[in-house]
Amino acid sequence: MTKRLIIRNGRFAQLRPDAAKSTLQGYMVVEDDRIAFIGEELPSEYETAEAEYLDGSRLFFMPGLVNTHGHAAMTLLRGYGDDMVLQQWLQEKMWPMEAKFTDQDVYAGTALAVLEMLKTGTTTFVDMYDHMNEVATVCEQSGIRASLMRGAIGLCSEEVQQQKLNEAVLFAKDWNHAADGRITTMLAPHAPYTCPPAFIEKFVQAAHDLDLMLHTHMSETAAEVEQNVTDYGLRPVTHLEKLGFFSRPSYVAHAVHLTDEEIEVLAKYNVGVSHNPASNLKLASGIARVTDLLKANVNVSIGTDGAASNNNLDMFDEMRLTALIHKGVSGDPTAVPAAEAMRIATVNGAKMIQLQDVGLLEAGMKADFIAINIDQPHLLPHTDLVSHMVYAATGRDVAHVFVDGKQVVKDGHCITMDEERVRYDASQAFEGLLKR
C-alpha cells in the first residue's frame, strides 16, 4: 500500500532560476519515497485519500542539504589541532591519529558526523575515507543518503598501493546502490600531491571498467600547486587532464588556486568543483574563484570537509559563507545571491554526484527535504524566507528531516539513531585514541 504524507499550509522553496516566486505556499504530497504533488491547492483526489498529515504553518520547507566533500570520522579529531599550517597540521596532528583508527573508531566518528548532519538538515553527504564498510553501515542504519569512496593515499610501496586500490574497487562494487539505493559509490585517489601519476592512472582505468565517477582533492594550497609544477612540469588541472582523470565524470574538492585557462579546462570537461569555504578559510588556503567558476558554467557545490578543519558539519554555515565571502572578495554585493547559494548547497550538489532526482521540491523528485521552524525571533518577519535560510538561519533551526520519504529527524530529534549512545561512543573512542 502507498504510504502517503500530506503537508498542509506549508511554504516551500522553489529554486529553479526561472521560478515565478522563490516560495510557494500550499500543499505537498509525498507518496512512498517521492514527491507526488506540490501546489497551491490540494487536488480533490487527495482530499479523501488515506494519509498522515503535517501542519506546515510554522515551517519553511526546502530540499535537504547536500554536502559534497568530507571525511566523516574526522569528527573524532574536532578541536584536536587548530590554527596550524595545512601540511604541519596533517603530518603532526591528523595523520598520526588517523593511523590509529580502528573499524570501531570510524563507526563511532561517522555516527557522530551523521547525527550532526541529519540534525542540521543535511540529507546527502559524500565521504572519502578508510574503513568504508563502517561508514556504509552507519548510512544504512541512519537512513541518510550518501556517496561513498575509499580515499587512497599513494605515498607507499607499489604493493600497498595495489592493496588500497583493490580495497577501493571491492568497496565500490559491494555497496553501489545499497540501502534501498541510498548509497552510491565512486573511486578517489586522494590528491595529485599524495598519489604518483601511475597510481592515479590505475584509478582512472578502474573507474572506466566499473563505470564510476572519480573524485579527488585538487589545488587546495598554493604550495601544492608549485610542488606539482616542480615535480611534473604541469599545474594540477593539466596534470590530471593528461592522466585521463577528466575522461570520466568527475569533480574536485577545493580548487582554490586556478588560472583562467584551468577554469576553461574544467568547463570543457564538465568537471565540477566542491567549494569548502570554512575549511579553506581556517587553513588559510585561500578563497576559491567561485564567481568566475559560475560564470564559466562550472557546476559548484558545497562541502564542509572534515570536522577537524571546519569545525562543524552545519551546511547552513557553509551556505552563508558562500553567499558572503564572494561578495567580499569581488566587491560586488550582487555576487552569489541567496537563491544561488541555496541552489549550490542543494540541487547543484545532487547534480554533482549524479543524483538527477534529488535537490528540488517538485513532483517526481525524491522526497529528501527539511522543515525549518520559522516562528523564531531571528527569522521574523517573513519577508523573504530563502534569504532568511541563507543569511539568518542555522542548522539548529531544523525541526524535521525526511530522506527517501522517511522521517529521520522529528522535532529536532533524530529518530533513527540512539543519540545518547552515539555521543557516548564518540567520546569513548577519542579517549581510547589518546591512550593508544
Size of the site for Zn ion (CB under 5 A): 1
Kindly state the smallest distance separating residue 282's Cβ from Zn ion, in Å. Answer: 12
Nearer Cβ to Zn ion (33/305): 305
> 283 CB contacts (<8 Å, ≥6 apart)?
85, 86, 89, 220, 221, 309
**Terminal-to-terminal C-alpha distance of the chain:** 52
CB of 219 to Zn ion, least distance (A): 13
Cβ closer to Zn ion: 305 or 397? Answer: 305
Identify each DSSP E strand in 106-232 by its residue range: 122-129, 145-152, 183-189, 213-218
Residue 313 Cβ, how far from Zn ion at the closest point, in Å? 13
Q: Which helix (H) or strand (E) holds 161?
A: helix 158-175
Residue 27 and residue 35: Cα distance in Å, rounded? 11
CA distances from 380 to 7, 56, 61, 384, 393 (A): 22, 16, 16, 9, 11
- Given the rule CB under 5 A, which of 298-306, 321-329, 371-379, 383-391 is the region that contacts Zn ion? 298-306
**Piece of 112-120, 192-200, 299-307, 391-399 that binds Zn ion (CB under 5 A):** 299-307
Cα–Cα distance, 252 to 136 (Å, whole number): 22
Q: Using the rule CB under 5 A, give the single segment among 40-48, 136-144, 303-311, 363-371 that binds Zn ion.
A: 303-311
CA distance 336 to 321: 10
The minimum distance between CB 221 and Zn ion, in angstroms, equals 12
Round to whole Å and give the CA distance between 202 and 214: 12
Eight-class DSSP state of 89: I
Residue 305 vs 318, nearer CB to Zn ion? 305
CB of 277 to Zn ion, least distance (A): 13
**Which listed range, 179-187, 302-310, 333-341, 405-413, lies at the site for Zn ion (CB under 5 A)?**
302-310
CB closest to Zn ion, residue no: 305
**Minimum distance, C-beta of residue 194 to Zn ion, in the bound complex (Å):** 11
Binding mask 177-216 for Zn ion (x = CB under 5 A): ----------------------------------------
By beta-carbon proximity to Zn ion, the closer residue of 189 and 405 is: 189
Instruction: Tell me whether residue 61 or residue 245 sits nearer to Zn ion (CB atom).
Output: 245
8 Å CB contact between 106 and 135: yes
Question: 107-122: buried (b, 16+ CB within 10 Å) or exposed (e) per residue?
Answer: bbbbbbbbbbbbbbbb
CB of 71 to Zn ion, least distance (A): 6
Instruction: Give the nearer residue to Zn ion in terms of CB position, either 116 or 305.
Output: 305
Q: In angstroms, what is the C-alpha Rg of the chain?
A: 21
User: In the numeric block, which cell numbers belong to residue 331?
Assistant: 566587491
Q: Which residues pair with 5 in a beta bridge?
A: 30, 52
Q: Helix or strand or coil: residue 267?
A: helix
Shortest separation between residue 99's beta carbon and Zn ion, angstroms: 17
The bridge status of strand 59-63 relative to strand 369-373 is: antiparallel
Nearer to Zn ion, 305 or 368 (CB): 305
Phi, psi dihedral angles at 324 (to 5 degrees): -90, -50
Of 15-23, 176-184, 305-313, 399-407: span binding Zn ion (CB under 5 A):
305-313
- Please, which residue, 36 or 86, has the CB nearer to Zn ion? 86
CB 89, min distance to Zn ion, A = 12
Output 59 or 114, the one with its CB closest to Zn ion. Answer: 114
Of the candidates 103, 106, 125, 104, the one whose C-alpha atom is nearest the C-alpha of residue 114 is 125
Residue 373 C-beta: closest distance to Zn ion, Å: 32
User: Which string of x and - marks every residue 249-288 that binds Zn ion (by CB under 5 A)?
Assistant: ----------------------------------------
Q: Are 341 and 22 in contact (CB under 8 A)?
A: no
Beta carbon nearer to Zn ion, 53 or 95 = 95
Using CB under 5 A, which of the segments 205-213, 301-309, 390-398, 423-431 binds Zn ion? Answer: 301-309
Binding site for Zn ion (CB under 5 A): 305
